[in-house]
């Protein structure tokens, strides 16, 4: 079991999380969620010993096998795929020789526990190194057709991600730590990984913004709250977490409003008591005693006594109110977490025909076409999800439609009023030496207005002055979205725009696109998003594009 006790971590004087405690068993799959920047990656690095906490400790047995897939990794570029797989799985001949040595030693010392443990471990490694098993897993992750003599440095970014995942899985970890493994996996790879996790006995802590992936894999959700720095645990998958969280927030609003009403009532009681005391005091002060009239003196003294008692009562109620406000019973107002806020202006009118593709083939000059003989139309106000394996040509088609690449064959006809906006995966449209403020400054009369606009995309303070090359991938993705908004595009070509957005921002992005009146063609692997957004699904397979309806299950 992996156990975390009272863990606290700060970074540059900013608290990431504070006094968090949880554990993960080898047969448990747990999702770790929270907005970008709340410390999820840092927590995983602490769990594997790459970083140290400020306080608290991580306890794990010395024999516990932990597999870790970080967001960013490096592979030896000069090694071949075969070399990498052989080293990860283990050399069967060397393992067999080691097993023979241990077997002989056990024959002489059958009660030696350490020898028995070594024997069991070698057997496990030999089973893991079976060529058929290695090849089956490689095929499942889309690496089966890659020549084993190909150098790793020549693999695409997506292929390197899948290879890194394969290397982690081949080690047969008992606890698996995955940091956003879904970002570079297509739908087929996602489904393969889901099945592997379901059928594996290993435990897993998964950082992911893919809501359907979490729904299909995890049995518990851990959430880091960036406002309180605390961690909460919720039983069930992501959908179950959402229901529980909504119920908590509703209950908190009810309790908060009840508290407001009670505070209002107590303040009203205090105000009435103070007013009564003041009135009684004024009444007593207005009594004029002209002589030795003992009755008037007694009455005035009586009135003044009442005024003091009422004033004392008001003071006691004020103290009671202060104690109430400072007590543990006090309910905080529910906080709305910062989310990306995108509002698309009214787009210019589009005719019925937006994009016409006739016998279109796309790819790179001198190489076979990636997609060929496309005869499709894109119509006004359509929402199209574009899916298919990594490397099948989806990005190339978008770049061809945007005019960045020439067609290999066929033609593209755009409607007369079409204004295309392309959001690329690699944010190549941004100038790395310029700041976010530089990118949007020409659209606004002053910096104040420009900063306010960037604030809607969660870019604020010194972030808007940094060169874009120093911003995180998520920040760059949000800046690209902001530029599409300000550019007044009426046809959006979006290439994996969700990859670097957290769940809250994905939800907000989904809502923003629902208000967009133009046309959208979007390469996306987030199935949760596709089912709620797309009217139609285009699927690339064997260099052809087929049109299917949505929900996504119709595409299979």
Select from 331, 291, 346, 314 the least CA-distant residue to 485. 346
Residues in CB range of 207: below 8 A, 6 or more apart: 31, 32, 33, 40, 41, 44, 178, 179, 180
Return the bridge partners of 80, or none.
151
User: In angstroms, rounded to a whole number, what is the distance separating the alpha carbons of residues 374 and 543?
Assistant: 9
Which class does domain 2-90+129-227 fall in?
alpha beta
Residue 308, classified by CB atoms within 10 Å of its CB into exposed (0-12), middle (13-18) or buried (19+), is middle
Give me 127's structure tokens.
């089973």
| Confidence at residue 513, expressed as pLDDT on a 0 to 100 scale | 81
Give me 489's structure tokens.
């595009």
| Confidence at residue 556, expressed as pLDDT on a 0 to 100 scale | 43
**Apex 35 CA angle, 33 and 36, nearest 5:** 110
For residue 470, the tally of other CB atoms under 10 A from its CB is 11
| Confidence at residue 296, expressed as pLDDT on a 0 to 100 scale | 64
User: In angstroms, rounded to a whole number, what is the distance separating the alpha carbons of residues 150 and 416?
Assistant: 47
Which class does domain 353-555 fall in?
alpha beta
396, 539 contact by CB (below 8 A): no
75, 152 contact by CB (below 8 A): yes
pTM of the complete model: 0.77
Residue 416, classified by CB atoms within 10 Å of its CB into exposed (0-12), middle (13-18) or buried (19+), is exposed
For residue 238, the tally of other CB atoms under 10 A from its CB is 23
User: In angstroms, rounded to a whole number, what is the distance separating the alpha carbons of residues 426 and 429?
Assistant: 8
Residues in CB range of 543: below 8 A, 6 or more apart: 369, 370, 371, 372, 392, 393
User: In angstroms, rounded to a whole number, what is the distance separating the alpha carbons of residues 208 and 32?
Assistant: 7
| Confidence at residue 398, expressed as pLDDT on a 0 to 100 scale | 95
- DSSP notation for 59-79: E--TT--EEEE-SS----TTS
| Confidence at residue 136, expressed as pLDDT on a 0 to 100 scale | 85
34, 226 contact by CB (below 8 A): yes
pLDDT tens, position by position, for the chain (556 residues)?
Answer: 899 999 999 988 889 999 999 999 888 999 999 988 889 999 999 999 999 999 999 998 888 889 999 887 778 888 888 888 877 776 677 777 878 888 888 887 888 878 887 777 777 777 766 777 888 888 888 888 888 888 888 887 778 888 888 888 888 889 999 998 887 788 888 899 999 999 888 999 999 999 999 999 999 999 999 888 999 999 999 999 999 999 999 999 998 898 889 888 888 888 888 888 888 878 777 776 655 555 666 766 777 788 788 888 888 888 888 887 777 778 888 877 666 777 776 667 787 889 999 999 999 988 999 999 999 999 988 999 999 988 889 999 999 999 999 999 999 999 988 989 898 876 667 888 999 999 998 889 999 999 988 888 888 888 899 998 888 767 787 888 888 878 888 899 999 888 778 888 888 788 778 878 889 999 998 999 998 889 999 999 999 999 887 655 554 4
- DSSP notation for 454-492: HHTTT--GGGGGSBGGGS-HHHHHHHHHHHHHHHT-SEE
- DSSP notation for 270-324: HHHHHHHHHHHHHHHHT----SS-HHHHHHHHHHHHHHHHHHHHHHHHHHHHHHH
Residue 556, classified by CB atoms within 10 Å of its CB into exposed (0-12), middle (13-18) or buried (19+), is exposed
- DSSP notation for 239-250: HHHHHHHHHHHH
| Confidence at residue 555, expressed as pLDDT on a 0 to 100 scale | 46
486, 440 contact by CB (below 8 A): yes
Separation in Å, CA 175 to CA 132, 217, 379? 24, 14, 48
| Confidence at residue 297, expressed as pLDDT on a 0 to 100 scale | 67
Helix/strand/coil percent split, the chain, to 5? 45, 20, 35
Select from 464, 462, 466, 377 the least CA-distant residue to 413. 377
Spans of all domains in the chain: 2-90+129-227, 246-326, 353-555
> Taking phi first (over 0 means left), then psi (-120 to 50 degrees means alpha), and beta for anything else, what does residue 446 get?
beta
Give me 154's structure tokens.
């020549």
Residues in CB range of 32: below 8 A, 6 or more apart: 40, 43, 44, 205, 206, 207, 222, 224
Give me 281's structure tokens.
């005091």
256, 331 contact by CB (below 8 A): yes
489, 348 contact by CB (below 8 A): no
353-555 shares the fold of 2-90+129-227: yes
Separation in Å, CA 297 to CA 26, 110, 461? 85, 108, 69
């Amino acid at each position: 079991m992996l156990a975390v006790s009272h863990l606290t971590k700060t970074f540059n004087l900013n608290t990431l999380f504070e006094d968090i405690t949880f554990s993960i068993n080898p047969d448990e799959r747990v999702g770790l969620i929270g907005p970008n920047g709340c410390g999820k990656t840092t927590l995983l690095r602490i769990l594997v010993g790459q970083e140290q906490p400020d306080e608290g400790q991580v306890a794990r047995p010395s024999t516990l096998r932990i597999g870790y897939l970080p967001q960013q990794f490096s592979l030896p570029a000069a090694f071949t795929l075969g070399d990498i797989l052989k080293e990860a799985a283990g050399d069967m001949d060397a393992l067999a020789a080691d097993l023979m040595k241990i077997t002989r030693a056990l024959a002489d010392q059958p009660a030696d526990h350490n020898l028995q443990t070594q024997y069991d471990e070698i057997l496990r490694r030999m089973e893991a190194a079976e060529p058929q098993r290695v090849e089956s897993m490689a095929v499942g992750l889309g690496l089966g057709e890659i020549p084993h003599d190909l150098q790793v440095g020549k693999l695409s970014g997506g292929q390197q991600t899948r290879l890194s995942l394969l290397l982690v899985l081949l080690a047969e970890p008992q606890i698996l730590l995955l940091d956003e493994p879904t970002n570079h996996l297509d739908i087929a790879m996602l489904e393969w990984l889901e099945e592997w996790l379901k059928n594996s006995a290993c435990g897993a802590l998964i950082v992911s913004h893919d809501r359907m992936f979490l729904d299909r894999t995890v049995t518990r959700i851990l959430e880091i709250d960036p406002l309180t720095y605390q961690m909460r645990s919720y039983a069930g998958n992501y959908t179950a977490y959402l229901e529980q969280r909504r119920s908590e927030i509703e209950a908190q609003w009810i309790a908060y409003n009840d508290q407001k009403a009670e505070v209002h009532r107590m303040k009203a009681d205090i105000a009435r008591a103070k007013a009564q005391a003041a009135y009684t005091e004024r009444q007593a002060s207005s009594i004029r005693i002209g002589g030795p009239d003992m009755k008037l003196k007694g009455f005035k003294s009586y009135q003044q006594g009442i005024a003091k008692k009422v004033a004392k009562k008001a003071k006691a109620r004020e103290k009671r109110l202060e104690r109430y406000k400072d007590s543990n019973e006090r309910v905080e107002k529910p906080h709305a977490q910062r989310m990306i806020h995108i509002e698309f202006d009214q787009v210019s009118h589009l005719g019925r025909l937006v994009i016409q593709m006739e016998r279109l083939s796309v790819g790179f000059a001198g190489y076979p076409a990636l997609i060929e003989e496309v005869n499709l139309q894109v119509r006004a106000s359509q929402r199209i999800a574009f899916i298919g394996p990594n490397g099948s040509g989806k990005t190339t088609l978008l770049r061809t439609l945007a005019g960045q690449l020439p067609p290999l064959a066929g033609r593209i006809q755009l409607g007369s009023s079409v204004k295309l906006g392309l959001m690329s995966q690699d944010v190549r449209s941004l100038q790395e030496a310029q700041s976010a403020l530089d990118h949007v400054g020409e659209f606004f009369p002053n910096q104040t207005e420009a900063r306010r606009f960037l604030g809607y995309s969660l870019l604020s303070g010194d972030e808007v002055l940094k060169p874009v090359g120093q911003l995180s991938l998520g920040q760059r993705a949000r800046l690209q979205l902001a530029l599409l908004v300000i550019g007044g595009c009426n046809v959006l070509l979006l290439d994996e725009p969700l990859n670097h957005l957290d769940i809250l921002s994905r939800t907000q992005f989904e809502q923003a696109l629902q208000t967009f009146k133009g046309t959208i063609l979007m390469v996306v692997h987030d199935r949760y998003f596709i089912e709620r957004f797309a009217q139609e699904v285009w699927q690339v397979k064997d260099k052809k594009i087929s049109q299917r309806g949505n929900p996504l299950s119709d595409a299979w």
